[in-house]
Amino acid sequence: MRQLIAGNWKMHCLMREAVALAEGVAAGAGGIAAELLVCPTALHVAAVAAALKGTPVAVGGQDCHAAKQGAHTGDIAAPMLRDAGATFVILGHSERRHDHHETDAQVRAKTVAAIEAGLTPIVCVGETEAHRSVGEEQSVVAGQLAGSLPTPFPGVVAYEPVWAIGTGKTATEADVEAMHGCIRRELLRLLGAAGAGVRILYGGSVRPANAGSLLALPEVGGALVGGASLKADDFLAIARAAVSG
């Protein structure tokens, strides 16, 4: 399966900057074996999708509501993202679980809505430093998977240790290998044989310098990249480190 290299632009860029960044990524995408995805803020999805039309770079949202439409001021429905040109959506990112107190049940409801709208969900899981310090990282992540994933689950999982996001700290290769193995076992338990086909991305301070070793690990199906996705050259360098097959 091709690795997926996804950029999470979070709440960065004005419109013209987002379009320029997307154009920069598209300009360097030729010859890259990995699947490429950029996730701008929802306000910029349509403009970025227009800029990327006809290129191999896909566009995704960073969140969606669980309802198709309704009285939810400030929220964005999955069909709206799809209509604007998105084909993916990140769900349950730790910043949303923290800032907006999103629960596993809410993430699952959003995931169902995304799938119904024709979006591929990227469901994020990951432990805090406190969980890891007492050896609870695998049980926490297994619980998040069980609570957040619907069955069937035609989507992607992103393992993002909370303590590694935006901190410059990266999980060790041994930590990533152990956790991705644990996630694969949980996917098989929850989804049956279909669990073998779900890509598991690693996210947390992925940079051009560490991408090659992380992406070569077993059960790593790509990367979810925050800070380094805001520079087209860095994002492309990470994508070039992806392994094909």
Helices (H), 53-99: 78-84, 94-99
Residue 131 designated active-site: no
Q: Smallest distance, Å, CB 195 to ligand PEP?
A: 23
Give helix then strand counts, H and E, for the chain. Answer: 10, 8
Residue 186 designated active-site: no
Q: Smallest distance, Å, CB 45 to ligand PEP?
A: 17
Determine which residue in the list 226, 232, 238, 242 makes contact with ligand PEP, applying CB under 6 A.
Answer: 226
User: In the chain, how long is the greatest CA-to-CA distance?
Assistant: 49
Determine which residue in the list 61, 203, 221, 222 makes contact with ligand PEP, applying CB under 6 A.
Answer: 203
Q: Smallest distance, Å, CB 230 to ligand PEP?
A: 9
Can you tell me the distance from the alpha carbon of 234 to that of 232, in angstroms, rounded to the nearest whole number? 6
Angle subtended at Cα 238 by Cα 234 and Cα 243, rounded to the nearest 5 degrees:
165
Identified catalytic residue from 93, 95, 131, 219? 93
Determine which residue in the list 25, 225, 236, 241 makes contact with ligand PEP, applying CB under 6 A.
Answer: 225
Can you tell me the distance from the alpha carbon of 222 to that of 199, in angstroms, rounded to the nearest whole number? 7
Q: Which is nearer to ligand PEP, 96 or 191 (CB)?
A: 96
So which residues are the catalytic ones? 93, 160
